[in-house]
Structure 1
């Protein structure tokens, strides 16, 4: 089982402070303009509340696009009750996006996700893996200029938006990509070969190193999309 395997291997043992909405909604009315983007980062399993390792990616984006703002998605990101945690992330991300677009209809949004957080992003856009939660309506996703997913367990092999060296699919391979495929031009789904979770491989190393390895590539993808997009 995914959760017990992660615990056994000790993928991450960072603090588990209770998540709050303040880190996200406290800055929800920060409308960005021009090429600046509002970045929502869905951290990986057991990473401390905030952006987790994705802060390295959001920092590069903010440096390149002055005026940009980044926040960490509030959700459990736990290994225990993984399915419930991930589904809560999907619900909360949908709420975060709809609320922000309602307040800032002309602002651009970038989504970042790592591991469980990557699955959260894919499920918010393409429909939930562990519930009947519907995908986010295009009324709100029109503001999303880029979504970068690092090592999602729901990774599907052979998609046009895949990058990295993986040729396989994740342990929670998405059953249907019909809706998610509609975001192909705005989606970067990064996974390396032999990753235990996104590639169905046998090594933890590609999984733990994927953000640091591809932080510049992921940031550059988002930056280019932000500069080209009109909302």
Structure 2
């Protein structure tokens, strides 16, 4: 095969310019999970970590990352950051983290898992409501999203799971729809005072224990790795 001088130079430049990019893509897992913690939980995954670990066990070689955001609700030990501001910062952090990762690993399938305020920021990133929203290739890369105890909960959403027939303290408006509803399952029970109108705060922490296996089955149905 005859290769022109110009073509040879072009090929040489391509090889020389992309070794780091090629190495990064070769190390990209088939599945990558982003987890977001609840309000006041220490840095990391919070209660969402139980399900994040289940996903990693189900897909050997997969990776994960905790969303870095304030997870505050106005507490003095949190710098007085309001819940609304914390959720807004968190939403922007989800969009940036997922978008940046998708640029680095465009073929990796992404799973989102958020607990309480962490569920709200994942909800915002997928369905809108706090400024930043996923779009394009990054949105397409998200194959499944799990919200647990999401304060945005409102009765009647197609992806709701659990016994709640009321709404959370930061509920979506009546008639709200999400364009990517088929990617989502949102877990909330009637006893929960945060995603519903119950009075048992302990029930808010039980979603991984109660629904973890069901949530994992949904994720497996959406991920093709």
TM-score, normalisation: structure 1 = 0.78
Counterpart in the other structure of 1:18: none
What is the distance in 1 between the residues matched to 2:209 and 2:69? 23
Residue 220 (structure 2) pairs with residue 226 (structure 1): no
Supply the RMSD in Å over aligned alpha carbons: 1.9
Contact 2:47 2:205 in 1 (8 A): no
Between the two structures, name the one with larger relative contact order (CA 8 Å, sep ≥ 6).
1
Q: How far 1:135 moved relative to its partner?
A: 2.1
1:125 counterpart residue number: 126
Residue 32 of structure 1 pairs with residue 29 of structure 2 = yes
Whether 2:67 is the aligned partner of 1:73: answer yes
Query: How many residues matched?
Result: 194
C-alpha change, 1:200 and 1:215, in structure 2 (3 Å) is same
For 1:164-191, what per-residue CA distance to the aligned partner results, in whole angstroms no more than 9, with x for missing partners? 111111111113775x522121100110
In 1: Cα distance, 2:208 partner to 2:193 partner: 15
Q: Which runs of 5+ in 1 are unaligned?
A: 1-27
Unpaired stretches in structure 2, ≥5 consecutive residues: 1-23, 75-81
Give distance in 1, aligned partners of 2:175 and 2:57.
33
Aligned to 1:25: none
Which residue pairs with 1:170 in the alignment? Answer: 168
Retained in 1: the 8 A contact 2:92–2:132? Answer: no
Query: Which is worse superposed, 204-213 or 151-160?
Result: 204-213
- Picking from 141, 144, 156, the partner of 1:143 is 141
Once residues 110 and 103 of structure 2 are traced to their aligned partners in structure 1, the CA distance between those partners, rounded to angstroms, is: 13
1:50 maps to what in 2? 44
Higher helix share: 2
Q: Provide Cα deviations, 1:49-82, integer angstroms capped at 9, x if missing partner.
A: 1111212111111111111111110001112111
**How big is the shift at 1:38?**
0.5
| One of 133, 155, 159 as aligned partner of 2:153 | 155
The answer to whether 1:195 aligns with 2:192 is yes
Q: Distance in 2 between matches of 1:211 and 1:203?
A: 16
TM-score, normalised to structure 2, is: 0.80
Q: Secondary structure at the match of 1:181?
A: coil
Residue 181 of structure 1 pairs with residue 178 of structure 2: yes
**Aligned equivalent of 1:213, options 203, 210, 213:** 210
Q: Secondary structure at the match of 2:33?
A: strand
Task: Tell me by how many angstroms 1:126 deviates.
Answer: 1.4
- Distance verdict in 2 for CA 1:118–1:177, change over 3 Å: farther
